[in-house]
Every structure is written in C-alpha cells, then in structure tokens.
Structure 1
Amino acid sequence: MQLVVARIGRAHGIKGEVTVEVRTDEPELRLGPGAVLATDPASTGPLTIESGRVHSGRLLLRFAGVHDRTGAEALRNTLLIADVDPDERPEDEDEYYDHQLIDLDVVTEDGTEVGRITEISHLPTQDLFVVERPDGSEVYVPFVSEIVTGIDLDAQRAVIDPPPGLIDDRAEIASARDAGAEDAGDEA
C-alpha cells in the first residue's frame, strides 16, 4: 500500500535542499537517508533521500541527483509516497493510518448509525472524519478523544459521542426545550 508521507515545498539555499511538509507521524522512519520514495507526479521520481536536517522547525531534505537550487525548485509541490505493508500498525496503539479508518462504519455510543468514513481531512489543528450519512449528506467529525471514543478495526467501526448539534439538530431541540421551560416559568 502506498501512503503520502510528505509534500515538497520551496528550495532552501543553493545546494539542492528543499523544505518538506511532513504528512506522517513517523518521519524518522519514512524520511530517513537512503529512503526511496515514489512521487506524484510520477515523472519526478522515484527520489532517494540523501540527507535531512531540521532548520528553524522545518524539515529540509536533499535528494540524490539534485545538487542545485534549479533542480530543487523543479520538485516543488511533489508528493512523496512510501510503500507500507497494509498490515503495519503505528507504534502507538491510539494512532491509525488513514487507510485503516476509511470505510469504517460510524455509530454513536448507543448504537445509532451515523454513516461511513469516506475521507480523513488533515487540518492544522486537528484531523476530521468526513462521514457520508445514509442519505448521502456529509458530516464532519473531529478526530479527538472527547468525541471519537473508540476505534475497533476488527469490527470495522468507529464509536462517537457527539456533542449536541454535531450530527443532528439536538442543539435546536435542546434550546427549544430550554426556551419552553423559561416560558413556563414566566407564566407561573
């Protein structure tokens, strides 16, 4: 199975280094010297990592055969893709690869069907499950422990405890109920 592990950014300096937007929780495993990575577009690769270092909080990589700024600039926006055993699991038991989560059924803690995960959206502050509901609509579920209370890969299920309003109109119902209680209090 192939996983996108990084995106090449702009050139850094004049010796062929590039900045890299890391898209893996295991950069030391996937982006170390000697790693051979497929690319998208395929015409720019495969690329072999010659060296890497962190500079001002950014990962910089140099690839074999790329020794100047012009060569580095030609790689900009290229996706780096690693071959991964589909049965491989991250070291932390609470971490998952995207391919393990796609197509999981999503249910609430009481067993109510919500839908199926069709995509994982990686945002700067948190990841989101894009869940397709049975009616074809989509709902976005933050992948945080307060909401996603369980992942069972064997049962192909993600269990969530959504706050009011995340997947339905419970927030509107609750506010209408609260408003009704206030009105009843005014009449007394």
Structure 2
Amino acid sequence: MLSTSNDEQVDVGERILEAAASCLLALGVERVTLAAIARRAGVSRPTVYRRWPDSRSVIAALLTARVTDAWVQAPDSGTGRVALVTRMVAVAARLRRDEVVMQVLYHAPDLAMVYIAERLGSSQRRLIDVAEVELAAAQADGSVRSGDPRQLAAMCLLITQSTIQSAQVVAPILGEDALAAELTYTLNRYLS
C-alpha cells in the first residue's frame, strides 16, 4: 500500500521541481512538458497534474522556490539597514548565478516579462513581505528613513530586480564585485 504522509508528498513535490529544473536546463523552457517532468521525477503525469495544471505553473513554482531559497540562504546578520542591504545584495548575487533563473530570464523572455512588466509573482510578493517586516524593524531602530515600509520594499525589489536582469549587459563595465558594491551603495542611499 502507498503511503500518503505529508513528508512523502513534500518529497514528491520537491522531486518534481528538481526534475523541472533538470528539464529546463537540458531542453530549454519552451520544450519542457509535464510528461518530461514526470518522467525525470519518476512519477506519473497525473501526480504532476494534481499539483500543477501545466508546465508553466511548474516552472513558476520552481522559480518561487529558487527565489525563496536565495532569501533563506542569504546571510542574516541581524537587523537594521546595513544587515538588510547586505542580505538583499547577497540574494541578488545568488540569483544572478542561478542557472535556472537565468535560463528563464534570458531564454524565455515572454515568461520573464510577465513578472517584469505585467504582474507580481509569488516570489516577488514574498520578498516584498519579508523586506517590509525587516524595513519596519529598521525604521524602529532609526537606521531606515521614514516612509511606508511596503512601498520601500517594493522599490528595493525594483532596484534589485533590475540589477539582476541587466547585470550581463554591464558586465564589461561592472564586474561581479563592482556590481555588488554599487547595488549596496544604491540601496543604502535609498533607505538612509
């Protein structure tokens, strides 16, 4: 008899997302199908369909997981503006090095543009939510200027997101260290 414990369901979901990442890198965004994802994950197509209606939804969930993981894995050196900016810059660097995120950004512009110009995705909303809380705390300790912390968080997202998107274009001018230094300066000045 098959177990339906929550741990196994989470494990299956993670396997599906890992398989989607593998498919995305091997096949490209446009050639990823639910059948290919299911095959690589070692599950049936209905198992994938129970969680996501189509391959684009799986890819969106994969991106959300990657962005959320980048935030969780970034160094948390306390509270205040300097700590928050350090974390934001670390998240940007991690996402710029994430092959899956870059594959979507550079090879699926129609999908990427949805989250750049049309609407906020789940990962963007999550980042705004967590940054808002940290910005409010930094305002309380006096290290961040006054203003609506949600609006400040949204602007920090735009600044950081544009840095991630355009880093490749300015790489001959701003190497990785210089880009991180300039992003740090920009965010610190904006929030001071």
Bigger Cα Rg? 1
User: TM above 0.5, one fold?
Assistant: no
- Relative to its length, the structure with more helix (as a share) is 2
- Relative to its length, the structure with more strand (as a share) is 1
Query: Whose RCO is larger (CA < 8 A, sep 6+)?
Result: 2
TM-score, scaled to structure 1: 0.31
